[in-house]
Amino acid sequence: MENVLKMEFSALAENEAFARAAAAAFVMPLDPTVEEVTEIKTAVSEAVSNCVIHGYGELCGDESFAKNEAPTIVMECALEKGNRLTITIEDKGVGIDDVDQAMEPLFTTGDEEERSGMGFTVMQSFMDRLKVRSSKGEGTTVIMTKYLDVPGEY
Amino acid sequence: MEVVFKVRGDILIACIKGELDHHNAAPLRKGIDRSMKVFECRDLILDLTEVDFMDSSGIGIALGRYKKLSKSGGRICIAGCSTYIEKVLDMAGVFSIIPKEADVQSALCLLGGEEQLHMEV
């Protein structure tokens, strides 16, 4: 069984809930456990929040942000080999200086009082595999893989 | 997301309902900080019993309030975590600095109990 969902949405905080709900709805036909759905929703929420806060964060304070073509986030969910779920979340934002450093628990470039620096750690804990590709000024792509606990259809 | 604030003495109880994410975190933070000030509370209980979803924004809220209250000599307690919420908060070691209780009643005992002890001395 192969199934793909691709969607593009404005990089707005209010779309975080929509993105994770869409990912959850996508896996529903496989009858996942409540725990699996929660883990997927949380990982998607972290990745999309990162795009909004960090990827496009600097642009949000900019007045031209609303006037110009609004930045978008692309999310792709793919289901292969029956139970392999791959979620790709991509932004065309500022990019990450040092990916290894960004992925360290508690590391944040944001306001240390309010940002936990745990986004990538949460994604890593809740998904089976996490890959982050980023280039300065061009954007960041997060690829997460999770093997769902369902009988595979071959 | 919805928050109901209750005041018991100088303890503010913030009962958070619904989904706690980055989008909701800023208004929640402002709401808690403003209520602490308006009701002149010293301590804070974050009641997460009715939170259906929470990502790492919840860690930021908890640690941010902890830092703020530490400066003013106040304490914070987290009540009513589901297994999943506990897992998220535990990833950042939140419970090594913030106590957790099963429900608001136990949290009130914890925060109030210490005060009673203090008065006896």
The answer to whether the Cβ–Cβ distance between B22 and A105 falls below 8 Å is no
Q: What residues of chain B have any CB closer than 8 angstroms to a CB in chain A? A: 19, 21-23, 25, 29, 53-57, 59-61, 63-64, 67-68, 84, 87-88, 91-92
**In the prediction, which pLDDT does A115 show?**
85
pLDDT in tens, B73-111: 999 999 999 999 999 999 999 999 999 999 999 999 999
The answer to whether the Cβ–Cβ distance between A49 and B21 falls below 8 Å is yes
A30 vs A112, which has greater pLDDT?
A: A30
Q: Please give the positions of A annotated as active site.
A: 46, 50, 115
When pLDDT is averaged across residues A135-154 and rounded to a whole number, the result is 86
**In the prediction, which pLDDT does A154 show?**
45
CATH number, domain B2-120, options 2.60.40.420, 3.30.750.24, 3.40.109.10, 3.40.50.10490: 3.30.750.24
Read off the pLDDT band of A19 (50, 70, 90).
very high
Residues 6+ apart with CB under 8 A from B112: B8, B9, B11
**Structure tokens of A35?**
């725990």
- ipTM of the assembly? 0.86
Buried-state track A121-151, b at ≥16 Cβ within 10 A, e below 16: bbbbbbbeebebebeeeebbbbbbbbebeee
In a domain, A152, yes or no: no
In a domain, A153, yes or no: no
- The CATH number of the domain holding residue A71 is 3.30.565.10
